[in-house]
Amino acid sequence: MEEEVDSDRQKSYRTAVSYDEHMSSHFHSWKEDFTEKPERFTETIKRCKKYGLLERCKLVPSRLATEEEMMVYHTKELINILEKSQFLPLEEMRKLSRLYDYLYFHKDIYNNARLALGCTIDLVEQVVTGKVLNGFAIVRPPGHHAMSNEFNGYCYLNNVATAAKLAIKNHGLKRILILDWDVHHGQGIQYCFYDNPNVLYISMHKYLDGKEWPYLRESDYDHTGEGDGVGFNVNIPLNVIGCGDCDYMAVFHQIILPIAYEFDPELVIVSAGFDAALGCPEGEMEVTPVCFAHFVNLISSLAGGKLCLVLEGGYCIDTLAEGVALSLRTLLGDPCPMLEPLGTPHPRTRESILNVIKTLRPHWKCLQFQGHLSDSVVSEFKGVLDWPPQRDVKFYTNERPRTFSLSQECYNPEYLDAEEELKLRVAELMKKPLQPCAPNKVCLGYSEQSLLHKDISSGGFEECPERLQHLCKTLKNKGLWDRCLIIPGRKATDDELSLAHSPDFIRQLKKTETMEDDALIIYQSSFKSVYFCQDSFTAASWSVGTLLSVVDDVLTGQSQSGVALIRPPGHHAEANTTMGFCMFNNVGIAAKYAQQKHNVNRIVIIDWDIHHGNALQTLFYDDTSVLYISLHRFDKGSFYPYGEEGYHKCVGGKSAQGYNVNIAWNDESKGDSDYVAAFQNVILPLCYEFSPDLVLVAAGFDGAKGDNLGNYRLSPELFGHMTSMLKGLAHGKLILALEGGYNLEMTSESMAYCISTLLSDPLPSLSSMIPSQSAVTSICDTIDIQSEFWKSLQYRVDLPTEKQLEIIKEQKENSMREFEEQENEDKEEDKD
């Protein structure tokens, strides 16, 4: 028995959880229907157990935070009040509660608040010290409203702020990202780090122009920090109720991800409130529980995967429990459930995003995708020409009430009018079954026949069998090969090849099997950058067939994702000709095959080979069921395959405009930051709006540093990050097919990072995430032409310059002064 216990102790865990059953013991003694209630905790734990998640996690033992730990942020006086509260009679508790906004006391609050803080501290410690990769502190009471000397909003001790301060103190961390997606602004965290550049605090919260609790002026977008911390406090105020997945994902794509990547944190802590979820009476928002899993996936590549979620709010029990469970599931490396295609964000959300950008772009160089408003032009988007606050809003900032009612409503009374309808919507949402995880995370398709294709002319072609041999050796040496399901390839049939090629062309290439060497050398000269041998047709047919075997394995649920290690490549091979080392259009055939055999409706093809995939573009140019996106070196048409096909203005045929997307790089060599910017500003928004059932990647690695055909500077790690960003799509049904890549070492390392990412391994951080000016120009060109067709690309708005902002601020201050003077005059008249 002792041996079994020791064995369990030695078990390696990816994810930790920390909680204590006693956290359900406190409740509101004089208001039974108070929203902050024990069921928030008990039902959440029950849901996690139902999905079998807790047994897959390391359980961090709970403990009470010490007084020394509590005093890292809170005053001794406040801690004494909390400690003494447990012994007060009920009536005295009621009196004490009236001194704080939205708060109640109970005999177990002191111990439970200490348990919540202790659990959070130890969970963060487990992650920082590398004992686990990530974790979730499922704690109650919440903490992000608690200030150094004041309880507030169900919060007594500030779990996240304290844990972050201890991580800095005990481990010397220089950069911590705290992301607060609770529907309410976490002012307690903001106050704690407002002048501290070591902590980037980002909060997206319901604000309603200041008319939403906690009614603080400093919750608006213009409060960006002070002293050395200017720019490190990011408030994203949502000024309308009913914001859903599309609004929140737009905030992630346009603000959170770019700033977070530029900041390059060593640790990420999330104040994970779920009161923005559909059905929550306090939030009045409509984020689906599934969407929170996508938030987790999008930030999981930061900080080498060191990610801690700490439970805050959430008051619709069903969507709270589901949101927590799906977030934990994503931390464990399971695929995100699919989101519905994203709609149009509310105009007020767009306004908030642009206002945040106009305020922060002097501090963050990643925010370069909006122009500067000319002095002689009035913006058609008037919201960006204003400055807070609104005139008619009364804030607690300067006039906090001395006491608070014990019968404060926790939600808008108008919510009750829609309560039954919301309950029905939540019930309908909960009926959707979770898709099961595949038994294998990754399948690798490989066949020795792919090595048969070789150059017999000594023409010095970079495409050679050694590319695949070196790649396979690298995967085996890194232990990745043995962690994947290896599936044998097969030869594609003529019918399958004809999905992208004409019968005449297939017959023509078949003839090469019987040609003599001299005839083959003459024959290949009639094509661009192609060679043949007698085994070329066999190798190319096996290349296609091996990819189709991977497609079958993924789409029948045997594997979650797949990689086809194949050659020759394919994305240049047109219906009736071969070129650019390519014989058959591997990925194009795979897409058609997936549609015909597996009834896949929507497919995204991402082509990150450095050359434009002309054949893929041609094949799907009039097809709205396939979204083709290519990032490629273009150099104004002077880079292979030459001409205008890769131009950003090539957007698809008349009936499919917007379904062909070219991000055409010009001028200088491109690096990691340029590709990350393209993903954040174009690729992710489009893919989430399109919502594919399958993602295929034409995975060329000739943009990697050291590749003489590409001459770009992409790191192998970047390819892992791009893979990670795509993992959230299509319930993880993601297939990579090898295209180019001619530096053997870099190609092998790059693909290894992709496979490691598919296996849910952590990624090293990327550095210097500031896109080049030429990359910004290319991305803006693509956005400008594609914004006509896509709702998610509506943020290319000219914004005021810094000088113009100063004028706007001054005008607002004068206007507010006049308004206040008039108000005072009116009050005096009323007295008379």
The set of catalytic residues is 145, 572
- Distances 689 to 341, 674, 725 between C-alpha atoms, Å: 5, 22, 15
Strands 485-488 and 440-446: parallel
DSSP code of residue 635 = G
Secondary structure (H, E, C), 244-267: EHHHHHHHHHHHHHHHHHHHCCCE
For residue 779, what are its two tokens? 């991305």
CA atoms of 664 and 613, how far apart (whole Å): 12
Sheet holding 233-238, edge to edge: 58-59, 15-18, 134-137, 307-311, 267-272, 176-180, 199-206, 233-238
- Distances 281 to 45, 61, 212, 322 between C-alpha atoms, Å: 21, 33, 13, 16
Calculate Rg over the CA atoms of the chain.
29
Helix (H, G, I), strand (E, B) or coil at 741: coil
Q: Is 698 exposed, middle or buried (0-12, 13-18, 19+ CB in 10 A)?
A: buried
The per-residue DSSP string of 325-350 comes to HHHHHHHTTPPPPPPPPP-PPPHHHH
**Cβ proximity of 163 and 269 under 8 Å:** yes
Q: Angle at which helices 744-758 and 466-477 pack, to 10 degrees? A: 50
For residue 723, what are its two tokens? 């893979």
- Residue closest to 214 by CA, chosen among 193, 190, 194, 234: 190
What proportions of the chain, in percent to the nearest 5, are helix, strand and coil?
A: 45, 10, 45
Buried b (16+ CB within 10 A) or exposed e, 161-187: bbbbbbbbeeeebebbbbbbbbbbbbb
CA atoms of 714 and 703, how far apart (whole Å): 6
Q: 485 pairs with which residues across the strands?
A: 443
For residue 57, what are its two tokens? 């996690």
Amino acid at 300: S
Distance in Å from the first CA to the final CA of the chain: 87
The number of angstroms, rounded, from the C-alpha of 363 to the middle of its chain's C-alpha atoms is 22
